[in-house]
């Protein structure tokens, strides 16, 4: 969820977006060839550099919104690398809208109308159920072998699954992190908190010492970001939103009440400002960058933002996995953001599309994204490479985090999320008790799942 790279943190839709070794790639390609996925596009021509006859070249279209806004265009860099490896396949880039909702609407209209373009499209991590339920994406688990999906970090494939089928390949990822003031913790001889209770106690200690105005800032406004933050506390507490079949709410539990009660306590204790009910990513980021808060929950772009010109905390920011509740295994859970790759069911170039996705999620492409563009790779083997970890503190923290997806395994996810963030926001404001807000959210979720409005 980038706001400096993709303008992804300035509104509700923004939050929803608001996220190797050559031998491994060759092995993956060989495995796919064995099941006929890249038949006719063998590695011999690619590895030899032989130029194919013009008639044998196939062009596919890839719809993707801008990933980088300064320097080289990451999309074009990856396309050039792919075409060098597979000279029989050319890729025509279609630059998609940066607004996720606009992008989604355009794709739904095109594909539902029977258009075969784009062949492959980059889409939000919360799209699989919507696109899968309406036949707007190919179930990739029917095309790739199971071994293909083992390359991805734990939690990512589950987020791309709807009714037992995987509809997307995780491309690059975003997630929540804990940012903290190294100088303040050092001055008070405090450790980086590993539990939410420790974070709250350390915040109060720093505030009482008048070292900082606020202890902890995050996203609590009436929008998608509050769902993301709530999911982290909820999962740490042992709760979940939907039943195993995704057809009913599983939210109304003591775990959910515990999670929301703690979030509210951050406000009533003064650790978090009462204005948190209006905070989206920019407001939380600005408060932290201005030196007014000791801790911040935000996405991966927040570190680079905190070290940019105008920030008052340059050189004083550390990055860590999110805490968990006392008595639970550290670290806590980070909500998943980011982008996936999908295939248009009307494509006329399935084999080439699969080859393209295999390459783009393989070690070589993912290594380029991480080391040259600081994107979080979805490929597990790349996430732990020393050359990736050395890029910045965020990428060094990634291998130590745990991921949880939003409850997007239903086509009614937008309404499900609305039921969550509206009621979470009311509890944070003190308009409803945490218990009542959870009960209301659960009822709203069941209404949404039954096809009704909120």
431: how many CB neighbours lie within 10 A of its CB?
A: 12
Q: Bridge-partner residues for 121, per DSSP? A: 63, 342
Token match 């991480």: residue? 370
CA 185 to chain centre: 29
Whole-angstrom Cα distance, residue 422 to residue 426?
A: 6
Q: Please give the pLDDT value at position 452.
A: 73
Q: Kindly indicate whether the domain formed by 12-174+337-402 is annotated with CATH number 3.30.450.40.
A: no
CA gap 299, 286 in Å, rounded? 13
- Domain ranges in the chain with CATH number 3.40.190.10: 12-174+337-402, 177-335+408-449
Beta strands per DSSP E along 221-367: 293-298, 317-320, 333-343
* DSSP-derived secondary structure letter, 214: E
Q: Which fold has domain 177-335+408-449?
A: D-Maltodextrin-Binding Protein; domain 2 (3.40.190)
d(CA 428, CA 220): 8
Measured CA to CA in angstroms, residue 243 lies from 42, 132, 391, 418 at distances of 44, 19, 40, 18
Residue 154: is it exposed, middle or buried by C-beta count within 10 angstroms (0-12/13-18/19+)? Answer: exposed
The mean pLDDT values, 10 residues at a time, for the chain of 454 residues are 40 41 35 42 35 72 92 96 98 96 97 98 97 98 98 96 97 98 98 98 98 98 98 98 95 98 98 98 98 98 96 98 98 98 98 98 98 97 98 97 96 97 98 98 97 73
Q: What is the pTM of this model?
A: 0.88
Let me know how long the chain is.
Answer: 454
Phi, psi angle pair for 165, to nearest 5°: -120, 140
**What pLDDT, on the 0 to 100 scale, is given for residue 438?**
98
Question: What is the reported pLDDT for 454?
Answer: 64
The span from the CA of 215 to the CA of 211, in Å, is: 10
As a whole number of angstroms, the distance between CA 44 and CA 26 comes to: 11
């Amino acid at each position: 969820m980038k706001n400096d790279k993709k303008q992804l943190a300035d509104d509700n839709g923004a939050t929803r977006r608001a996220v190797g070794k050559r031998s491994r790639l060759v092995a993956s390609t060989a495995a796919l060839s064995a099941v006929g996925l890249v038949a006719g596009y063998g590695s011999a021509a690619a590895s030899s550099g032989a130029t194919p006859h013009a008639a044998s070249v196939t062009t596919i279209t890839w719809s993707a919104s801008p990933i980088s806004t300064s320097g080289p265009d990451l999309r074009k860099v990856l396309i050039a690398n792919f075409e060098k490896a597979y000279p029989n396949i050319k890729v025509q880039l279609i630059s998609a809208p940066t607004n996720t909702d606009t992008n989604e609407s355009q794709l739904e209209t095109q594909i539902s109308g029977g258009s075969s373009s784009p062949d492959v499209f980059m889409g939000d991590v919360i799209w699989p159920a919507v696109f899968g339920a309406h036949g707007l994406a190919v179930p990739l688990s029917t095309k790739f072998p199971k071994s293909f999906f083992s390359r991805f970090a734990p939690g990512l494939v589950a987020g791309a699954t709807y009714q037992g089928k995987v509809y997307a390949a995780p491309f690059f990822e975003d997630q929540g992190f804990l940012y903290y003031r190294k100088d303040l913790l050092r001055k008070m001889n405090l450790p980086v908190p590993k539990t939410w209770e420790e974070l709250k106690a350390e915040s109060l200690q720093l505030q009482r010492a008048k070292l900082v105005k606020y202890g902890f800032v995050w996203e609590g406004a009436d929008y998608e970001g509050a769902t993301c933050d709530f999911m982290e506390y909820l999962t740490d507490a042992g709760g979940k939103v939907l039943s195993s079949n995704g057809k009913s709410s599983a939210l109304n539990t003591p775990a959910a009440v515990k999670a929301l009660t703690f979030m509210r306590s951050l406000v009533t204790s003064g650790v978090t400002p009462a204005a948190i009910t209006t905070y989206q990513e920019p407001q939380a980021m600005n408060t932290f960058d201005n030196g007014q808060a000791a801790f911040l929950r935000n996405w991966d772009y927040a570190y680079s933002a905190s070290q940019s010109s105008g920030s008052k905390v340059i050189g004083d920011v550390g990055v860590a996995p999110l805490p968990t509740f006392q008595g639970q295994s550290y670290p806590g859970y980070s909500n998943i953001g980011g982008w996936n790759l999908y295939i248009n069911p009307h494509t006329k170039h399935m084999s080439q599309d699969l080859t393209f996705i295999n390459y783009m999620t393989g070690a070589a492409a993912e290594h380029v994204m991480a080391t040259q563009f600081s994107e979080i790779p979805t490929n597990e083997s790349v996430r732990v490479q020393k050359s990736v970890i050395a890029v910045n503190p965020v990428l060094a923290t990634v291998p130590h985090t745990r991921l949880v997806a939003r409850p997007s395994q239903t086509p009614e996810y937008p309404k499900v999320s609305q039921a969550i963030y509206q009621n979470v926001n009311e509890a944070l404001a003190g308009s409803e008790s945490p218990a009542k807000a959870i009960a209301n959210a659960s009822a709203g979720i069941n209404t949404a799942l039954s096809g009704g409005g909120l």
